[in-house]
Amino acid sequence: MKKSKISVVINTYNEEKNLARCLESIKDFCDEVVVVDMYSTDNTVEIARKYGAKIYNHEHTGFVEPARNFALRQTQSDWILLIDADEEAPKLLLSELESIAKENEIDYVNLPRKNIIFGKWIKHSRWWPDYNVRFFKKGKVEWNDKIHSIPITYGKGREIPAEEKFAIIHHNFQTISQYLERSNRYSSIMAEELVKEGYHFSSQDLIKKPFAEFLSRYYAGRGYLDGLHGLVLAILQAITEFLVYLKVWEKEKFTDQQTDFFAKTSTQSIKDFFHWQATISRGWTKLYLKIKSKI
């Protein structure tokens, strides 16, 4: 059977601290590496060139999605592994992907991703298994230009098991400053997209959306099992949501609104918070009593 050729695609902007690690992890896996750079001002391009990558440029857009399809069009292989510069691929995953390409029975693959945030693997808080479509036949996956958009897929897909040995390792946020810088940048883009979609600012959303984000991360997503990391990340994600709607308000010239709806929304959000807190407390109490009865 003819061996399928594989391309690796990496989009970059000022990734000199991460890129070599990423390239090392896939250097024996593929037939070509395509790096699409958004005019980095550091040594990113030099590092890519050192590893023999084919280098292309794309305008700097502030987020990666607009450059995804452009990058995919530069490849020459049957299959594509899309990986970010701050990620690395474990050997067992690459071996599995080689087998999938050889069998040639499906069109795209959903891969689990292990997020390392503030020095810790985050196993809850909706950060795991963090599935992403990253391996696919050329022409079977495409992106739109919206930030954090889910790719459009064609044909038959499959999911790699959510096991650590198969997970892409994502060296995500390393510092609070890095998180806040990206949060500020992304929230501006997200606010702009909401306005383009016809959304108008609501003071209720300024409370409701951040609270919903916090509750979904910390309680529904069991972020409390990630300890202090889980609490901090839930708060930071809520702050990002808050900034998105705050910036929409700014775009509408800080128009004033009636405060009675605002107060009702705040009250309901607080009720939701205490409901989840009580639910978790009951769960821990039951666990404690169960353990105590067996001692």
Which pTM does this prediction carry?
Answer: 0.86
Q: What is the mean pLDDT of residues 116-139?
A: 97
Buried b (16+ CB within 10 A) or exposed e, 202-231: bbbbbbbbbbbbbbbbbbebebbebeebbb
Q: What is the mean pLDDT of residues 265-274?
A: 59
C-alpha to C-alpha distance for 255 and 104, rounded to whole angstroms: 57
- Residue 288: the pLDDT is 45
C-alpha to C-alpha distance for 50 and 163, rounded to whole angstroms: 33
Say which CATH topology domain 6-171 has.
Spore Coat Polysaccharide Biosynthesis Protein SpsA; Chain A (3.90.550)
Q: What is the mean pLDDT of residues 133-157?
A: 95
One-letter amino acid of 168: I
Cα-Cα-Cα-Cα torsion 63, 69, 75, 80, nearest 10 degrees, comes to 80
Structure tokens at 22: 């990423």
- Residue 4: the pLDDT is 82
Q: How many residues are there in the chain?
A: 295
Tens digits of per-residue pLDDT, 152-185?
Answer: 999 999 999 999 999 999 999 999 999 999 999 9
* Residue 243 in this model has a pLDDT that exceeds 50: yes
* Residue 284 in this model has a pLDDT that exceeds 80: no
CA distance readout (Å), 70 to 33, 62, 84, 286: 14, 15, 15, 54
Q: What is the mean pLDDT of residues 185-214?
A: 95
- Residue 42: the pLDDT is 97
* Residue 199 in this model has a pLDDT that exceeds 80: yes
- Residue 155: the pLDDT is 98
Judge contact between 107 and 136, C-beta under 8 A.
Answer: yes
Share the mean pLDDT of the chain: 91
Domain boundaries, the chain: 6-171, 176-294
Quote the crossing angle between the two packed helices 176-196 and 227-251, to the nearest 10°.
Answer: 40
- Residue 248: the pLDDT is 97
- Residue 257: the pLDDT is 74
